[in-house]
């Protein structure tokens, strides 16, 4: 039996799926588009399956491609873990990790716990901030890694994508909104990129927002919406039955993407290993959540 799965080819296939195409995958992998295409064609030949659709308007991956990606991510995770555990030079050092409130969870804690058990000589120091603050800290070299959310059109080629999220304009079901007057707006705080976008939409006729509450906590925003204090931009994961979506009456917000972003100047193997671990595990958990 001559069929086999090449590790580099599997990594390439996963990059195509993660980044949404050959072009962005080639940028992430620092390869030419032709090299990426050749790896996939060779993989398809080895297993006698078509993995990419290659038709305009069609889904990126075929059904076989989607099935193989699921296996590939598990294979790569075990492959990389095995190499790290057998390495004669164990990972060492300190990692400064920033996260947003939306990305803090018991699942991420489990991922970090597993990473520190695998690499006892690596210390991870974590803090929670707004995404704009984390971007600033990355640029200044104050942190090595960030798990955060951004508008999808602001993705960097090297960002590791966890999942996409939809933003909605929402209000309490019994709140009467008068669009001829300033709209009471519930904002996270001045470092929230939702607010930066929302406060810039006053060029749209008859839309003007007046901030009546600022709160850095999603739980606080949810409570304020349910109490009828105003309208807000809220990720889909926080919607409740007490809320009414009013997207049709206001400008549509951009798509939001949850990502892992590494300090562009970092060359630390420890930082890269943690970034890949969070990206892989986070993507799997997101798929289970959204299924």
How would residue 271 be classed by pLDDT, with cut points 50, 70 and 90? very high
**Residues 135, 140, 146, 149: what is their CA dihedral angle, to the nearest 10 degrees?**
0
Judge whether residue 283 has pLDDT over 70. no
Per the prediction, the chain carries an average pLDDT of 86
Instruction: Tell me what pLDDT residue 73 has.
Output: 85
Instruction: Tell me what pLDDT residue 276 has.
Output: 84
Radius of gyration of the chain (CA): 22
Give the range among 70-84, 205-219, 274-288 with minimum mean pLDDT. Answer: 274-288
Structural domains present in the chain: 7-84 (1.10.10.10), 89-163+257-290 (3.40.190.10), 167-254 (3.40.190.10)
Q: Which has more pLDDT, 138 or 279?
A: 138
Query: Pairing mode, if any, of strands 243-245 and 183-187?
Result: unpaired
- pLDDT tens-digit readout, 187-197: 988 888 998 89
Judge whether residue 206 has pLDDT over 60. no
How would residue 269 be classed by pLDDT, with cut points 50, 70 and 90? confident
Describe the strand order of the beta sheet including 256-262 as a list of residue ranges.
Answer: 122-128, 93-99, 145-151, 256-262, 160-165
For 6-14, what is the mean pLDDT? 90
Q: Give pTM, 2 decimals.
A: 0.68
Give the range among 2-11, 17-26, 104-113, 209-218 with minimum mean pLDDT. Answer: 104-113
Instruction: Tell me what pLDDT residue 282 has.
Output: 66
Q: Which helix (H) or strand (E) holds 163?
A: strand 160-165
For 204-225, what is the mean pLDDT? 84
How would residue 17 be classed by pLDDT, with cut points 50, 70 and 90? confident
Judge whether residue 290 has pLDDT over 70. no
Judge whether residue 239 has pLDDT over 80. yes
Q: Which has more pLDDT, 260 or 26?
A: 260
Give the range among 14-28, 87-101, 237-251, 276-290 with minimum mean pLDDT. Answer: 276-290
Q: Which has more pLDDT, 217 or 2?
A: 217
Q: Tokens in use for 135?
A: 């971007």
């Amino acid at each position: 039996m001559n069929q086999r799965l090449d590790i580099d080819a599997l990594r390439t296939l996963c990059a195509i799926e993660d980044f949404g195409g050959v072009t962005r995958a080639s940028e992430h992998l620092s390869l030419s588009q032709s090299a990426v295409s050749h790896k996939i064609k060779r993989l398809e030949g080895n297993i006698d399956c078509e993995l990419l659709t290659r038709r305009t308007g069609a889904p990126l991956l075929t059904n076989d491609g989607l099935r193989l990606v699921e296996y590939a991510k598990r294979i790569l995770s075990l492959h990389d873990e095995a190499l790290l555990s057998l390495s004669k030079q164990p990972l060492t050092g300190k990692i400064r990790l920033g996260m947003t409130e939306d990305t803090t969870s018991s699942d991420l804690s489990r991922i970090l716990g597993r990473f520190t058990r695998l690499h006892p000589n690596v210390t991870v120091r974590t803090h929670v901030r707004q995404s704009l603050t984390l971007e600033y800290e990355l640029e200044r070299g104050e942190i090595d890694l960030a798990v955060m959310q951004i508008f999808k059109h602001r993705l960097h080629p090297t960002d590791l994508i966890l999942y996409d999220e939809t933003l909605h304009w929402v209000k309490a079901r019994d709140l009467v909104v008068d669009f001829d007057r300033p709209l009471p707006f519930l904002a996270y705080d001045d470092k929230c990129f939702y607010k930066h976008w929302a406060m810039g939409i006053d060029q749209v006729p008859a839309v003007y927002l007046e901030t009546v509450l600022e709160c850095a906590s999603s739980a606080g925003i949810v409570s304020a919406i349910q109490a009828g204090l105003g309208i807000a931009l809220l990720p889909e994961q926080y919607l409740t039955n007490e809320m009414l979506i009013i997207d049709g009456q206001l400008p549509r917000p951009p798509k939001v993407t949850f990502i892992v972003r590494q300090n562009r100047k970092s060359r630390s193997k420890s930082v890269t290993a943690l970034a890949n671990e969070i990206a892989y595990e986070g993507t799997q958990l997101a798929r289970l959540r959204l299924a």
